[in-house]
Amino acid sequence: MSDFKIGDDGRRRTTDQLQALRRANDDRVAWDTEAPADFTYLYDPDHVLVRVRDVEEFEAALGRLEGIFDGNAERGEDPVPGELARYRLPARAKNETVPDILDLLDLDERFGPGRVTPDHWIHITPGGCTCCPATEPEETGLVEPWPPVCTDHGRGKGVSVVVVDTGWNPPSATDNRTPWLKRVDGDDELNGPDLREYAGHGTFIAGVVRCLAPATRVFVEGFAVGGVGGGGILESAMVTQLTEALTHKPQVINLSAGLRTRDDLPPLSFEVFYETQLQGLDCVLVAAAGNDTSPAPFWPAAFEWALGVGALDRDGRVSDFSNYGVSTDVYALGRNIVNAFPDGTYTCFETPHKGDVRVFDSGMARWSGTSFAAPIVAGLVAAEISAAGCSAHEARDTVVARAVRMSDPTIGPIEALRQPYC
């Protein structure tokens, strides 16, 4: 985990994040560069993904890589039966990495490039220079959320939203300090008095959705539940989580997580999920655009079928951490959001605040990142579905059409949803 420029706070922060992710996942996290702070994408060091229709040719291509493997690749349980296969590569003679093996397969004229990918790690709004929210959660003396709860308490009635995230804090649903979360449900993230990294992320996001659409049915589909995962999940496992999310029949899914990929190619997991599960449904996937100040594709926000959301400061300018370009269809407030958070003691694990102790005892926190801009848009889409009696896709288009076209001096024209939202 050495870093030749470790004195820079930004690089230290990224290294801290990767250490946490690796520690939580038994060292099954690798990256594509020597220095961790320079990573573009994260991947499982032993597994690859391939479409089932390409399996026979893939196995033949592996067989042509003479002198590299000690044994045969093992096919595990298919993440998407009949569509997506996951293989474990055997030991390699010279410790070749997964990207090394894929480079060789790309050169095979009988197989060709792009048909096998790493099993990438998805993280809470990750990317090429940071892999978490733009900040760690901060205490706040405020007792009301921002953006505030809409005064029309019927907004979102009859609409189902699933937040696919770190899990849910059940006490928030019955806490008199956070009444807007009443009847929200989800997978318990099992908080204790000492809050783990990324605790409360899903609860905070569910609260933002509820403020914009108070009558919406919200379920938090949890990954990395119970303090494991370090805020991350393999893309092969995310397919299962997204498929489970669909059992709640949502019109809107909020995913405040994502990934960069090898060669910036679309991740196979999301391609297959869309083709086999989401396509044809009246359901909109709203995705955070990431916090790397980058125009590079950040998935799934960069897909045409997803609604990618960047972050604005309270003065309406694009946040300095927000991604832009192909991953961002629209921008919404993402700086200094205030919403529900578990009570407990949180010890910061990222530079420059590493080791600082923060005590949360108000049921609330302040947080920044595209993670929290996304649920504003998800809530607005849910509200529009109920108000107009329209489809989720029609509501998405209506919400985006309300954005103000403005010019940012750094990134050019953008579509911004300005406050107030209710």
pLDDT at 229: 54
Residue partners of 322: CB distance under 8 A and separation at least 6: 289, 290, 291, 293, 310, 311, 312, 328, 331, 334, 370, 373
Q: Looking at the predicted structure, is the pLDDT value of residue 132 above 90?
A: no
Percent of the chain with pLDDT over 90: 79
**Per-residue confidence (pLDDT) for residue 261, from 0 to 100:** 97
Q: Taking residues 30-50, what's their average pLDDT?
A: 91
User: pLDDT-derived band of residue 396, with 50, 70 and 90 as boundaries?
Assistant: very high
Q: Which of 415, 323, 402, 350 is nearest to 135 (CA)?
A: 350
What is the mean pLDDT of the segment spanning 315-343?
96
Q: Is residue 269 scored above 90 in pLDDT? A: yes
pLDDT of residue 4: 47
Report the percent of the chain where pLDDT is more than 70.
Answer: 94
Q: For the chain, what are the domain ranges? A: 160-416
CATH code, 160-416: 3.40.50.200
Which candidate, 301, 299, 219, places its Cα nearest to that of 259?
Answer: 299
Predicted local confidence at residue 226, as pLDDT: 44
Residue 218 is given by DSSP the state E
Hey, how many other C-beta atoms are within 10 angstroms of the C-beta on 192? 11
Query: What pLDDT, on the 0 to 100 scale, is given for residue 196?
Result: 86
Q: Read off the pLDDT band of 24 (50, 70, 90).
A: confident
Nearest residue to 407 via CA among 304, 336, 324: 324
**Which whole number is the average pLDDT over 339-361?**
91
Per-range mean pLDDT, top range of 5-19, 174-188, 348-362 = 174-188
How confident is the model over 77-103, as a mean pLDDT? 96
Which of 9-23, 49-63, 115-129, 134-148 shows the highest mean pLDDT? 49-63
Average pLDDT of 75-101?
96
Residue 1 pLDDT more than 50?
no
Prediction pTM value = 0.93
pLDDT in tens, 294-303: 999 999 999 9
Is the separation of the CB atoms in 418 and 376 below 8 Å? Answer: no
pLDDT at 409 over 80: no
Q: What is the pLDDT of residue 64?
A: 94
- H helices present in 117-214, as ranges: 201-212
DSSP 299: B
Contacts of 74 (CB under 8 A, 6+ apart): 87, 88, 90
**Is-contact 347 357, C-beta < 8 A?**
yes
Average pLDDT over residues 224-242: 77
pLDDT in tens, 235-265: 999 999 999 999 999 999 999 999 999 999 9
Q: If you average pLDDT over residues 177-201, what whole number do you get?
A: 94
pLDDT at 227: 45
Question: According to the model, what pLDDT value does residue 7 have?
Answer: 59
For residues 342 and 362, is the Cβ–Cβ distance under 8 A? no
Q: What is the largest CA-CA distance in the chain?
A: 68
Lowest-pLDDT choice from 65-69, 206-210, 251-255: 65-69
Q: What is the mean pLDDT of residues 46-63?
A: 97
Helices H / strands E in the chain, number of each: 8, 22
